[in-house]
């Protein structure tokens, strides 16, 4: 039944999201507001990781997140935000690799986990809107397609051929076969996109490498959120999406992938000049 709800929710949500992404270039400021609202909703769900149950306290965290978002737009250069976001996800990978041995230093601290939420949510929001303003809606759709195809491929291959658990302590349902299948699916999508767009041959190796790294970090984002749910004793981040859980359960991979993609694209552009 959960699988049926998952498929139905996906079928209902994907077409309007694709339409939104393709037409976002016509009204980028509105898109920024809409994505900002979604990030704030994600912040409300994130407050559940802090061990906070009071709606008032969770509301204060959302207001704090909104303040950081507005201040970042005014005072933080987009390039710096991207590098901070990408650097944070490298650190998140280290924390995950050391879990649960060193989680006693941060796992019970609502302040540290609140800061983690800021580092996960704000750079991702800025990255998505940066891509739209600088590269356009097609590039943004490509990023979403990478993350979606990796996630869907991992679910499909994991269901059929999954045998070896990727990280049983963090996410028992994820398998090595599923992750590898998801990455192959995403790279196939990337290759088709580059072929269709006529990407120059001298750029293609770097573009494929960037796609691979982006997908790798999307998997890390998924696992990192699962780790926080384990720490908080939660099965899902929320109940917004039937069969999927909360909003964070759907965008966790994108949170990591987006600043990493922008940072990698900047570095690749610098190398190819």
Domain extents in the chain:
2-272
Residues 15-24: contacts with CB within 8 Å, 24+ apart? 17/144, 18/141, 21/137, 21/140, 21/141, 21/144, 22/137, 22/138, 22/141, 23/137, 24/132, 24/137, 24/140
Q: Report the pLDDT value the prediction gives residue 128, as an integer from 0 to 100.
A: 96
Cα separation of 42 and 265, whole Å? 26
Q: Report the pLDDT value the prediction gives residue 239, as an integer from 0 to 100.
A: 74
Q: Report the pLDDT value the prediction gives residue 7, as an integer from 0 to 100.
A: 59
Q: Report the pLDDT value the prediction gives residue 21, as an integer from 0 to 100.
A: 82
Q: Report the pLDDT value the prediction gives residue 54, as an integer from 0 to 100.
A: 85
Provide block-wise average pLDDT over 10 residues at a time, the chain (273 residues): 58 78 84 95 94 88 97 94 96 90 84 96 96 92 95 90 86 90 96 93 94 96 92 81 77 96 92 71
Q: Report the pLDDT value the prediction gives residue 170, as an integer from 0 to 100.
A: 87
Structure tokens, 19: 């339409």
Cα separation of 103 and 100, whole Å? 5
Reported pTM: 0.92
What pLDDT digit, counting tens, does each position of 166-194 carry? Answer: 888 888 888 999 999 999 999 999 999 99
């Amino acid at each position: 039944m959960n699988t049926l709800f998952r498929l139905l929710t996906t079928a209902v949500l994907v077409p309007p999201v694709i339409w939104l992404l393709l037409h976002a270039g016509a009204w980028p400021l509105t898109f920024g507001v809409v994505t900002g609202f979604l990030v704030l909703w994600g912040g409300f769900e994130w407050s559940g990781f802090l061990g906070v149950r009071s709606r008032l306290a969770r509301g204060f965290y959302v207001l704090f997140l909104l303040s950081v978002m507005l201040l970042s737009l005014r005072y933080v250069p987009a390039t710096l935000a991207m590098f901070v976001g990408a650097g944070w996800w490298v650190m998140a990978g280290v924390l995950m690799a050391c879990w649960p041995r060193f989680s006693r230093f941060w796992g019970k601290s609502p302040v540290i986990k609140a800061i983690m939420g800021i580092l996960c949510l704000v750079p991702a929001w800025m990255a998505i809107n940066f891509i739209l303003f600088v590269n356009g809606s097609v590039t943004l759709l490509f990023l979403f397609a990478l993350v979606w195809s990796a996630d869907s491929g991992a679910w499909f291959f994991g269901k059929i051929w999954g045998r070896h658990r990727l990280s049983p302590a963090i996410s028992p349902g994820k398998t090595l076969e599923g992750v590898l299948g998801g990455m192959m699916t995403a790279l196939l999508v990337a290759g088709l996109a580059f072929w269709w767009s006529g990407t120059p041959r001298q750029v293609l190796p770097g573009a494929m490498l960037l796609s691979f790294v982006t997908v790798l970090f999307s998997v890390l984002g998924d696992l990192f959120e699962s780790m926080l749910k384990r720490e908080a004793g939660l099965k899902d981040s929320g109940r917004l999406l039937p069969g999927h859980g909360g909003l964070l359960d759907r965008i966790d991979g994108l949170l990591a992938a987006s600043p990493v993609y922008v940072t990698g694209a900047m570095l690749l552009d610098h190398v190819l000049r």
